[in-house]
Each structure stands twice: as structure tokens, then as C-alpha cells.
A and B are shown apart, each in its own frame.
Chain A
Amino acid sequence: EAQVTQNPRYLITVTGKKLTVTCSQNMNHEYMSWYRQDPGLGLRQIYYSMNVEVTDKGDVPEGYKVSRKEKRNFPLILESPSPNQTSLYFCASRGSGAAHNEQFFGPGTRLTVL
């Protein structure tokens, strides 16, 4: 089954404790991205990656890092989480060429930073 998976689905942590949210897709997609969703602000893109070892900032990259060492994985790293990073996070992927139109989203990770 074609899918994007994220782990963990729920996480409560404390300010300053480094964490990583993993994202993996099984569709051999080149493009992957991370979004955060906050009430009243909608979905905003954090980082994206066009392919392995190619990443770039989205609209709200501050406080986040990403890496793309393998095509299937695109982890989101919070080196020193702060309460304003409490949010619902989505990873997404899409293919290139004729498959570029449909973007697949993961189930979401609900992060709370105390």
C-alpha cells in the first residue's frame, strides 16, 4: 500500500530536549516536505526536499532542521524545542513528471513542548 508514515504520532516533551520526527514513504517519490498546522494559521511549509541531499527552506524554517540521506526518509529535527513549536506536523511526498500532481500526506504528529 502506497503510504507516508510518521513516527511518533504523539509526543510530549520539554523545552530544549532535542527530538526527531521520522518520515518515510514507499512510493519512490523525489519530493518530500514538512508542514505544520496551527489553529487560525492553516498549513505552513517548514522545509522541502527535491531529492537526496537537496533540501530547502519553506515558509517557517526557524528552529527546525531536516536531512535527506535516502530517498525514502526525510526526518524533521528540533534541536532545542520551544513551546511555540507545539503543533500538528505533517510530512508529505509526491513524484515527478506525470506523477507530480498528487501529494500524499502522512497521518500527522501531534507535538507538545512544555
Chain B
Amino acid sequence: DAKTTQPPSMDCAEGRAANLPCNHSTISGNEYVYWYRQIHSQGPQYIIHGLKNNETNEMASLIITEDRKSSTLILPHATLRDTAVYYCIVRVASGNTPLVFGKGTRLSVIA
């Protein structure tokens, strides 16, 4: 009963933008979109989150479509250290609602 759908893998050339898509067609009005990544069996790392507006921080940008049924995480200048599994998660941002991790997208940044 995954709430999100992501491609299993993607490649990106070093220095280019990495655009990682995520479908969440059943998202509810009070659910946020979160992105985490996991570098080779390390603990997952928070990247960014958003509700309906586009968001940007020092790591990435998050573009959410107007109908909120899909989003794209953008790493503007991918480096080899960005090679990781990227997880797109939808979640109500309150209480004890857990993060539910799907299979994510394995991004390989190639020199």
C-alpha cells in the first residue's frame, strides 16, 4: 500500500542536474511530501519537504505540481557524493505519524 511511486534507478552525469520524479496521486490535503536519501547503509538523511509550494534549500529544490499528484527533487549540480537511494515520502506532519519508506530511487552519479 505504498503511497508513492518512484523509478527504481537513475543515472546522472557529474555536474549535471539530477531530476528525481515521484508520483503520489492519492496524497491528501494535509500530507506533506518529504525527501530523504540514504548513502550506502548509512542512516537516512533529510533533504527537503513541502506542502504545495516549490521549496529550495542548500541541498536541493522540490517542485510540486499544482494538483500535488507528483513532485520532482532536483539536485542542481550532482556530485559523486550524491550517489544514494532517494526516498519520496508523503506524511501528515503531526503526531506520531511515522515515516514510511518505500523502495526509493537508486541514483548513480557518473564521472
Binding site for B on A (CB under 8 A): 4, 31, 33, 35, 42-45, 48, 50, 56, 58, 88, 90, 92, 100-108, 110
Contacts and interface: CB of A to CB of B under 8 A. Distances in A.
Contacts of A42: 101-104
Nearest to A31: B96
Helix, strand, loop or mixed for chain A's interface? strand
Given A48-B98, A103-B44, 11 more contacts: A42-B101, A45-B100, A50-B95, A58-B98, A90-B43, A92-B44, A103-B99, A105-B44, A107-B42, A108-B41, A110-B41
Nearest to A90: B43
Contacts, number: 51
Nearest to B100: A45
Given A100-B93, A101-B32, A101-B34, A33 B43 contact: no
Contact of B98 (A45, A105, A107): A45
